Amino acid sequence: MWTWFFQLASPRWFYQTANRLLAWLRPLTLVLFLVGLYLGLLFSPADYQQGNTVRIMYVHVPAAYLSMFAYVVMAVSGAIGIIWRMKMAHMVSVSCAPVGAIFTLLALLTGGIWGKPTWGTYWEWDARMTSELILLFLYLGYMALHSAFDDKKTADRAAAILAIVGIVNIPIIHFSVEWWNTLHQGATLSKFEKPSIDADMLKALLTMILAFQLYFFVALLQRIKAEILEREKLSGWVQKLVSD
Q: CA quadruple 68, 69, 74, 79: dihedral positive or negative?
A: positive
Q: What is the mean pLDDT of residues 125-131?
A: 87
In 3D, which of 46, 37, 92, 41 has the Cα closest to residue 70?
Answer: 92
- Tens digits of residue pLDDT in 166-212: 999 999 988 876 766 665 665 666 544 555 688 889 999 999 999 99
Q: What is the mean pLDDT of residues 215-226?
A: 98
pLDDT at 191 (0 to 100): 47
User: Are the beta carbons of 177 and 185 closer than 8 angstroms?
Assistant: yes
- Tens digits of residue pLDDT in 46-90: 877 777 888 999 999 999 999 999 999 999 999 999 999 999 999
Within 10 Å of residue 147's Cβ, how many Cβ atoms?
11
Domain residue spans in the chain? 19-182+198-243
Average pLDDT, the chain: 90
